[in-house]
Amino acid sequence: MKAAHLAFAVLCVLSSVVKADVFHCTFTEPFVTVTYSMAQQTLTFDEAGQPLKKVLNGVSFQIQSAGKFALVNSQKQTVMTLNLSNQGSDGMSDDVYPFETTWSKSEDGKAQQFGGCESNLLKRKHQD
């Protein structure tokens, strides 16, 4: 019976994440905001102080396991991972994000940056 309840809970969480249309992620040093659109399959990088945004097209949202997701580019490389832990951080504020995220800044995946993400369904919590 416990297994059935656990499976149902996982399905509920996954269904709310899969319905999410847009993810907003925040990173510090450098200060970057990343937006992923499921509908358009685009990943947009907006770095503070830079006049142009970088847009990756053809980025797919893939479920790796319960609460773990990957954004994968058209070359099948993981660009970003999301972990639904409710412990995400932007590294600057006291806000708590639903997703912890890792962004592979370099093509070899060695330069990584950590941040927090929210979706249009699962919002960050502001701490007072």
The domain total for the chain is 1
Q: Which amino acid is at 36?
A: Y
User: Which letter does DSSP use for residue 22 in this model?
Assistant: E
pLDDT score for 109: 59
In angstroms, what is the C-alpha Rg of the chain?
Answer: 15
User: Which letter does DSSP use for residue 111 in this model?
Assistant: S
pLDDT score for 18: 52
Instruction: For the chain, give the mean pLDDT.
Output: 85
94 SS3 class? coil
For residues 24 and 88, is the Cβ–Cβ distance under 8 A?
no
**pLDDT tens per residue across span 14-47:** 444 456 689 999 998 778 999 999 999 999 999 9
Q: Which two tokens stand for residue 99?
A: 């997703």
Query: Does residue 83 lie in a domain region?
Result: yes
Smallest Cα–Cα separation from 79: which of 96, 97, 54, 98?
54
Domain of 48 in residue numbering reads as 2-119
Query: Does residue 67 lie in a domain region?
Result: yes
Q: pTM of the predicted model, to two decimals? A: 0.79
Query: Does residue 66 lie in a domain region?
Result: yes
Query: Does residue 124 lie in a domain region?
Result: no
State how far the Cα of 25 lies from the Cα of 42, in Å rounded to an integer: 14
For residues 71 and 85, is the Cβ–Cβ distance under 8 A?
no
- What residues in the chain have per-residue pLDDT under 50? 4-17
